[in-house]
Structure formats: C-alpha cells, structure tokens
Structure 1
Amino acid sequence: MLQRAQRSVRHLVRPYPLRDIPAGSMLDLPGRGRTFVTDSGPRDAPAVILLHSVLTTGLLCWYPVIPALNERYRVITLDHRRHGRGIRSDDFSLDDAADDTVAVADALGVDRFTAAGFSMGGGIAQLIWRRHPGRLNGMVLCSTGPFFSEQDPRAQAVADRVGRLATPVYRMLPKSVRLDDTDAHTTVWAFRQFLSTSLPDFGMFGEGLGRFDSRDWLGDIDVPTSVLVSTRDKVVPPSRQQLLLDGIPGARRFEVHGGHACCVLGAEDFIAPFGAAVDAVAIRGTLAPPTP
C-alpha cells in the first residue's frame, strides 16, 4: 500500500528544483489576523505581489519565478486565508483575499503594486482592482479567467484521493524537516507546503471560487494587463482565458505551452513568458497616474 502511494506521488509531482527561496515571517494585519509573507528584492524597485492558486501556498506556487524577478522587482508573496500559514478564518471568499492582499501592502508600506495571480490568484487580482481603486500599477493574469466553474462534486473526491496518496509519504518525511527547511529535497519541501493546507477545506474553496464572476465589469479595467495563457490547460480552458483578452481593453497575450500546474511542474517553460508579461505592465504602470 505504502509503496503504491509513493509511486503514485512521484508520478504526480515532479516540482521545479529549489533555488534561492526567500525567507519569510508572520505578519500581523490589524483587524484581520496573521499571515505568512515573504518580501525580497530591491526595496526601491517596483513592487509585484504574487497571488497563489487554490490548495497551494505563496511559496509553493511561485518559488520558481522569484529569483529571476528579484533582479528587477521587489517581490512579495503571502498565504491566502485558510491556505498554508494564512489567516485562520471561519469562511473563505475571494473578496476577503483581495482585501487581505491590500492589507499586506499597507503593512509593508507599499502604495501601488502589480498584482500577478495564478488561477484563483487571478480572480483575486481582478477584485483588488475593483475593490481598491488606484492601488494597482497593472495585472498579470495567469491560467485564469473571469469566472470559475461551479464546484464539481468529483473534485472533492480527487482532493481526497490525493490526500490519501500523499499522507503516507508525508508521515515518512524526516520530522526535522519543516516548512522553512529549503535544504530538504524539493519533493519533501513541496509536500510539506501542499499539506499545510487542509484538504477537507476544498469544498469551501470551491464555493468561494464559484461566487466570483467579473464578466460584467471586465471592460472597465483601466490598468495595463498581461494575460498569460496556458495553452494545454484542462482546468481553466484556453477559451475561458481568452475572455480576459477579449474583455479587458488593451490586454496583451502571452503564452506558455503547458497545463494548469505549469508554474511549478512546467516552470522551465513558464519563467520566461511570465517575466515578459510582468515587464510589459509593471514599469509602464508606474508611469501612469493612479485611478482617482
């Protein structure tokens, strides 16, 4: 049983190698709670806040791209509520996640920033623009769309199956290895990150995702926007990603020839187009006046 679980996990997860992972710490957000944040790169460079996908963490989703971005940007990650070491709340919504992100920016003294979101994080980025006018220099929307499908009842079964496969391996990991131990093997580190989010919360996350829909106001978005389309995506189909390009005035298309986990499992092909997508909006956005 255990050997079968190990073989299945190795087949499912081949994460990008660990390289220069920034250290992080817990940050107090007055009136909201505490969340885990990393803040790396030049402090006087344009700020980019990276917003992660469902069932991951800020570092697990984004660690492959951080070293390259740090050459020219201040890069911030956070764990969204009920994910990893994020805020421990009784419920979950993308609206709250958007407000949490702006609270992180406030706590770090960041006025305007580029929001780069992967999948769920792309919905959060769009809500930051809508709920907090003038805070964004631009958006980079990766493997995401203007809405998410209603929760498929089969998805919980898949999450449960992954949990059953992963848990025996997790129990075999050295007890001395913790979430912040980047000297561990990549797979060890990645599984500890993944299992720091409660899999039974998947239904709650699905409900939160299902309530998001930006189609009625996409045409009002007035900040530079890059859309990075994952052309082999079976979770958020490319046709749904294209709706962002069709709906957001002046949005620019970038492509990665990968599936929905391309930010980590296909990172070799993701890093360069993602960096180009950030470059296309981040600098230009700092030159534009904020929305009143």
Structure 2
Amino acid sequence: MIDPRERDESGERAHPPGLPVPLGRRVELPGRGTTFVREVPGPPGAPTLVLLHGWMASGGINWYRVFEPAGDRFRVLAPDLRGHARGLRSSRRFRLADCADDVAALLDQLGVRSAIFAGYSMGGPVAQLIWKRHRGLVDGLVLCATSHSFVPGIRERMIFSSLMAAAAGTTRIGGLMTALPASLVKQWVPVSTRGRPDSLQRWAAAEMRRHDWRMVLEAGHAIGQYDARKWIGTVDVPTAVLVTTRDRALVPTQQAKLAFSIPHASIHRIEDGHVACASPGFAAALLAACEDVRTAAVSAGT
C-alpha cells in the first residue's frame, strides 16, 4: 500500500491521503533535459506497461485509478510528458515526435528493452509515434479515448490550429496564459471528480500549476495538426482501442476509425466521456485491453 505521508523530493506531499499514486523521481535524459516518472515495480519478471497521459493532465492525474491494479500484473511507468507537470522543459516548440523520443530515451535510461504502451487522448499519438520511430521498443499498443486524426476536415483543422498557435504565441510574448478557463479544463482533466475529497482537487490543481502553459498550448496546436492516416495501417503489433462511448471531445466514431485502420486491432468500450480515466470502472476496462494485447504479444512471440 502506498503511504500517503510520503513526500516528493521538494518536500511537498505528492498525493492526498488515501490516493493510490506512487511517488516519482526525476531522470536526466542525456542531451534532452530532465523528466519525471512515477513507477510501480510490479511482480518479479512482469512485463512493462508505459502509461502516456492526455493533454493538460499529468502521469499522476490521468492514471491514479490504474496504478495499484496495474501494478499487480505489470511494471508500471507513467512519465509526465514535456511541458506538463514536472515533465521536460524546452525552449523549442512542442512536437509530439519529441515526446515520443523523450519516452524512448527514458526507457533507455531505465534499462527497459520493450514495453506495452497505453496512450490516453494526446498520449495516443505519442504511443503511435513511438511505434513509428522506435519500433523495437513496442510489444503492443493500447489506445484510449484517442484517434489517428483529432480534428477532421481541413477547415476545422485550420481554425483549431490557428487558435492554438495564436494562444501559444501570446504566452511566448507576455506570459498571459497562466491558467485556462475552468470550462475548458473540465473537458480534459479530472480535477473535480464527483464524490472525491477536496484533497484530490487540491493535489490535481497543484499538479496543473506546474505546467508550462506555453508548451501546453503548443501541444494543443500539435494535436490539431496530427494526422497518421497515411501510415497507421502499417502498425504491426498487437493493438487494442478503448472507445469512450459518451465522448463529446473526441466522438466515438472517430475513435472507432482508428481501430478499423489498424489490422487486427481489438475494440473495447467504456460507457463514459473523455475523462473516463477518473471513473471507478476505468481501471478494469483498461486492464482488460492491456491483457488482450499482452496475450496477443505472447502468442506472437513479441
């Protein structure tokens, strides 16, 4: 059991009492910078599961429901992606490909030869790009509440990307965006889950205050530009797609298109919206998808 009295390296309480979130550590990535990862060691010899969070979240916020049950079956790693929470900082413009390379560098530093990668929302494209750029690391993919193209249609893509680029440009000049509207945050991050204590809200808010908002807004622009339709059909590892059937941020039909585009991908469902990761039933749905991929990977000898 995780001790809620533990504190991170800065002396801050890393999670509220009773919240099953493991403490993390900072890891230096040569030539790239310093990142942060939470880890559950798992049973001896267990395969590694890398959890990649969504936009405006963090490894802790996105996966707090998952750490303990997943740790019974896997070695679990949940990094903060660049610009988010304690993730790597850079003066370069945010690119999803750089996130993929950061994760590959992290696994190299931790001595992990291969893993199953579970990506949620923005983490889905990062997982896809890890397969594309670092194929040898990938035993399988679990893609949750995500797609291979986030903003369908040229007109919609141009509008979304222009808005995000303008917002990111504003933060570069004046640091104007130190927080986002609560209505927008609620669409993406589980900062106010019904029935949870205020301590969870305070902890999640503290996580989000660590964001580099210039990089986060640039990440929104990168999501709007992302389009893997030309190559997603060449994915050749066991893959499961977890569809959030009540999703308004990324409609279920768009998520299903991702599954249909990847040969032999299995489809799993959870009756929830885009912040399904905050729901009590999320861990069971995710782990069912992970076990599907794990079994297929073993059968394939991956």
* Structure 1 residues 246-282: Cα deviation after superposition (integer angstroms, max 9, x where no partner): 1100000100111101101xx2121111110011112
Measured in 2, the distance between the counterparts of 1:102 and 1:271 equals 25
Q: 2:47 is matched with which residue?
A: 46
Q: Distance in 1 between matches of 2:101 and 2:149?
A: 19
Tell me the distance in 2 between the aligned counterparts of 1:235 and 1:164: 10
Please tell me whether the aligned partners of residues 42 and 73 of structure 1 are also in contact (alpha carbons under 8 angstroms): yes
Match of 1:23 in 2: 23
Give the deviation of 1:152 after TM superposition: 6.4
CA-to-aligned-CA distance 1:107-147 (integer Å, 9 cap, x gap): 11111100000000001001111111221110000000001
Partner of 1:279: 291
Secondary structure at the residue paired with 1:81? coil
Counterpart of 2:109 in structure 1 is: 107
Q: Is the 8 A contact 1:60 1:194 kept in 2?
A: no
1:75 corresponds to which residue?
Answer: 76
Q: Which 10-residue stretch deviates more, 147-156 or 243-252?
A: 147-156
Among all aligned residue pairs of Structure 1 and Structure 2, give the percentage whose two residues are the same amino acid: 38
In structure 2, the partner of 1:96 is 98
Map 1:201-212 → 2, pairs under 5 A: 201-212=215-226
What's the CA shift string for 1:41-98, capped at 9, x where partnerless?
2352000000000111111111111100000100001011111111111221110001
Structure 2 counterpart of 1:117, which letter?
A: G
Aligned residue pairs, count: 256
CA distance in 1, matches of 2:163, 2:30: 38
Amino acid at match of 1:140: V
Deviation, structure 1 residue 26: 0.4
Preserved contact between residue 22 and residue 39 of structure 2 (Cα < 8 Å):
yes
Q: Give the stretch that moved more between structures: 19-28 or 74-83.
A: 19-28
Equivalent residues in 2 for 1:1-292, closer than 5 Å: 18-40=18-40, 41-42=42-43, 44-90=45-91, 91-149=93-151, 150=157, 151=160, 160-162=180-182, 185-264=199-278, 267-290=279-302
Q: CA deviation at 1:185?
A: 1.4
Is the contact between residue 142 and residue 239 of structure 2 (CA under 8 Å) also seen in structure 1?
yes
Q: 1:164 to 1:67 in 2, by over 3 A?
A: closer
Letter in 1 for 2:53: H
Over 3 Å counting, the alpha-carbon distance change for 1:131 and 1:165 in structure 2 is closer
Q: Which has the higher contact order (CA 8 A, sep 6+)?
A: 1
2:191 aligns with: none
> Partner amino acid for 2:26?
M
Unaligned runs of 5+ in 1: 1-15, 167-182
Secondary structure of 2:280's counterpart equals helix
1:183-229: per-residue Cα shift (whole Å, max 9, x none)? 98111111111222134544311221123211111211110000000
Question: 1:17: how far off?
Answer: 8.8
For residues 271 and 92 of structure 1, the distance between their equivalents in structure 2, rounded to whole angstroms, comes to 30
Secondary structure in 1 aligned to 2:273? coil
Maintained 8 Å contact 1:114/1:137: yes
Q: Offset of 1:286 from its aligned partner?
A: 4.2
Contact map agreement 1:52 1:117 (CA 8 A) in 2:
yes
TM-score, structure 1 as length reference: 0.81
| Unmatched runs of 5 consecutive residues or more in structure 2 | 1-15, 152-156, 168-176, 187-196
Quick one: which amino acid aligns to residue 28 of structure 1?
A: E
Q: Pairwise CA RMSD of aligned residues? A: 2.5
1:197 is paired with a residue whose SS is: coil
Q: Tell me the CA shift for residue 21 of structure 1.
A: 1.4
- TM-score scaled by structure 2? 0.78
1:162 CA displacement = 2.3
- Equivalents in 1 of 2:184, 2:210: separation in Å? 15
Alpha-carbon distance between aligned partners in 1 of 2:102 and 2:162, rounded to the nearest angstrom: 28
Q: Give, in whole Å, the separation in 1 of the partners of 2:290 and 2:222.
A: 27
